Structure 1
Amino acid sequence: MYVGRFAPSPTGLLHIGSLLTAVASYMDARSHNGQWLVRMEDLDPPREMPGAAAAILSTLEAFELHWDSEVVYQSRRHHLYAAALARLKAQELVYPCFCSRKMVQAEAQGIGVDGIIYGGRCAFLSANMHLSTEKTPAWRLRTSTDITGFVDEIQGSEQQCLGKDIGDFILLRADGFWAYQLAVVVDDAEQGINHVVRGQDLLLSTPRQIYLQQLLGFSQPAYAHLPLLTNTLGQKWSKQTQAPSLDLRQREVLLRQVLTYLGQPPAPEVDSLSDLLSWAVQHWQLSLVSPQTIATT
């Protein structure tokens, strides 16, 4: 069975960009008679907005985007991430890193595709080395020079050499917060997610997640990365770029707008939002979604 998901972070209210992701993932799941799950990625409390998680769920319900099964909260799943990290430690695939941010920046091996590349000061340490000190380390995953690639259903062929393009990356921060890369891989596997439809801003993260899936013996989902919506300044719509929250009085207008952004055929006049969703599911074609960024006004 097709199992997809929508996994927002409760750092703010839903906006047009997040609605596009929710609708596309919902449409793709329902058009395959599959399940559509909702997961709240609440692993970074300092960045979260009080009440945002409940507001996100309420907004999805207002758009009649009804999910299957219970909502999963990452903040309640630390034991799963710890178990995965323990497996990697046992295989010496991770190592403790005691470097400060200043040290990491000073000793960087250059700029990769997603930030600076770690210089490797702590790479010689074994997984048990941290036991000899009271200082709490971060934990980094050892990467290789092998090519990690996949074929995205929207963006086409993608590949990275993690050792050269990314470097050894963090799975658990020194302050105790789990990194997105590990959490999302563990959650997708545990929930049986086999199709991931999400924003293009996460495309660069996918090879890291596939690499982790391989190391942990997890199945690799099919991926489809949606075009980003940008404002008049060319910035991705987000909380940081003051993306306005959705006006629930304009639900049908917004849904039609999102379907247009996704390249879907124009829907006829309908009697209800439910009818519009049903029509859109019946006519959904992922192949019509453009890989290009979409400028909005």
Structure 2
Amino acid sequence: MRGRFAPSPTGYIHLGNVWSAFLAWLQVRQAGGTLVLRIEDIDEQRSKPIFTQALMEDLHWLGLDWDEGPDIGGPYGPYIQQERYDRYAAALDTLKTAGLLYPCYCSRARLQAVGAPHAGEHTVYDGHCYGLSEAQRKQMTKKPSWRVHVPERTISFTDGVYGPFHEDLTRCCGDFVVRRADDMYAYQLAVSVDDGAMAITHVLRGEDLLSSTAQQIWLMETLGYTPPVYTHVPMLVDEVGNRLSKRQHGITIRSLRDRGLTAEDILSYLAYAGGLVPERRRYSRDELVRRCDFHKLRTEPIVVNML
């Protein structure tokens, strides 16, 4: 097994981030596999090196160690996305050669007006710019984004928590952006290339990314990679149902540590709240590896009160 934790260094890690990191670490350690730490910093405006350093310090304090990463290297490096742009450019060339890449000149207003909502997360593009002739494209003055054209195909996969899915690409995502108009590589492209090129066999992440899975599977297959096994886990929410985020105060690992909580307190609480262990008490990390039962993981959002 090769798993990964792939945080974005846009702030100090909080309880919601640690929930995913803990479960990814736990899944790999229970299987005796290899855990990769990958820094997803393609959002150059919001990502900061100070947060990359801080998140590695916080993960070390929690005892969530990794086997490959930006600080220790490994056979599949580099492990920082800003150092992997050549891989993404090569993937775009592959898509272009296959006749799947095309420029999109649509404004944000048009996309919001005509896009069909899917699962409350995003809109499905109507394919407007796919049919433009070369002459029409030459008349455009707006700098385009670049989309990949998806076929009429159903992607089937079985999630480790939520079971089987059968997703029609034209309905669940439509033609999606792989490079933005500001030249930033899109998340869908970067994560698919990285998981494929790093030979990741198991991806564990938040349920909010479940709706992206079908398009990533198709993109990985199109680029010649073998898709991993996916496990999506329920999100942590506060007592009124709001998803935990960096905007909320008092939930960063540093703030919890300053309040006197230990790493074992935090991880044991998360394991109990998620249903992985039956008793609410302090467990050592070795105990958590031995006793946590993924089959008992809750599927509904998990309310936390460690605030």
2:203 counterpart of 1:191: no
Q: 2:295 is matched with which residue: 284, 287, 290?
A: 287
1:95 offset after TM fit, Å? 0.8
Residue identity opposite 1:46 in structure 2: Q
RMSD (Å) for aligned C-alpha atoms: 2.4
State the partner residue of 1:236: 243
Instruction: Say whether the 8 Å CA contact 2:208–2:235 is kept in structure 1.
Output: yes
Q: Deviations over 1:120-168 (max 9, x none)?
A: 2210258999789785321101123321121001111123212123221
Q: Kindly report structure 1 stretches of 4+ aligned residues shifted beyond 3 Å.
A: 125-136, 240-243, 266-270
Residue identity opposite 1:11 in structure 2: T
1:189 offset after TM fit, Å? 1.0
State the partner residue of 1:110: 116
1:279 offset after TM fit, Å? 1.5
Which whole-Å CA distance do the structure 2 matches of 1:282 and 1:54 have between them?
30
Which whole-Å CA distance do the structure 2 matches of 1:223 and 1:152 have between them?
5
Q: Deviations over 1:153-189 (max 9, x none)?
A: 1111123212123221100001011111110011011
Which whole-Å CA distance do the structure 1 matches of 2:193 and 2:83 have between them?
13
Q: How does 1:196-207 map to 2 (within 5 A)?
A: 196-207=203-214
Residue identity (%): 34
Which whole-Å CA distance do the structure 1 matches of 2:278 and 2:117 have between them?
44
Which whole-Å CA distance do the structure 2 matches of 1:280 and 1:127 have between them?
59
2:81 counterpart of 1:74: yes
Question: Cα 1:84–1:13, aligned 2, differ >3 Å: closer, same or farther?
Answer: same
1:104 offset after TM fit, Å? 2.3
Instruction: State the secondary structure of the residue aligned to 1:99.
Output: coil
Instruction: Say whether the 8 Å CA contact 2:277–2:293 is kept in structure 1.
Output: no
Question: Cα 1:101–1:213, aligned 2, differ >3 Å: closer, same or farther?
Answer: same
State the partner residue of 1:147: 154
Q: How does 1:210-225 map to 2 (within 5 A)?
A: 210-225=217-232
Instruction: State the secondary structure of the residue aligned to 2:66.
Output: coil
Instruction: State the secondary structure of the residue aligned to 1:157.
Output: strand
Instruction: State the secondary structure of the residue aligned to 1:217.
Output: coil
Range moving further from structure 2, 141-150 or 128-137: 128-137
Residue identity opposite 2:80 in structure 1: Y
Question: Cα 1:296–1:269, aligned 2, differ >3 Å: closer, same or farther?
Answer: closer
Residue identity opposite 1:278 in structure 2: D
Question: Cα 1:134–1:281, aligned 2, differ >3 Å: closer, same or farther?
Answer: same
2:24 counterpart of 1:18: no
State the partner residue of 2:91: 84
Under a length normalisation based on structure 1, what TM-score does the superposition of the two structures give?
Answer: 0.90
1:214 offset after TM fit, Å? 1.6
State the partner residue of 1:120: 127
Question: Cα 1:11–1:126, aligned 2, differ >3 Å: closer, same or farther?
Answer: farther
State the partner residue of 2:73: none
Instruction: Say whether the 8 Å CA contact 2:2–2:201 is kept in structure 1.
Output: yes
Residue identity opposite 1:262 in structure 2: G
Any unmatched runs of 5+ in structure 2?
A: 71-78
Q: Higher relative CO (CA 8 A, sep ≥ 6), structure 1 or 2?
A: 1
Range moving further from structure 2, 202-211 or 286-295: 286-295
2:62 counterpart of 1:63: yes
Instruction: Say whether the 8 Å CA contact 1:94–1:127 is kept in structure 2.
Output: no
1:105 offset after TM fit, Å? 2.7
Residue identity opposite 2:293 in structure 1: Q
State the partner residue of 2:272: 260
Which whole-Å CA distance do the structure 2 matches of 1:225 and 1:97 have between them?
31
Which whole-Å CA distance do the structure 1 matches of 2:37 and 2:279 have between them?
26
> How many residue pairs align between the two structures?
291
Range moving further from structure 2, 231-240 or 110-119: 110-119
Which whole-Å CA distance do the structure 1 matches of 2:278 and 2:293 have between them?
12
Residue identity opposite 1:153 in structure 2: G
Question: Cα 1:267–1:61, aligned 2, differ >3 Å: closer, same or farther?
Answer: farther
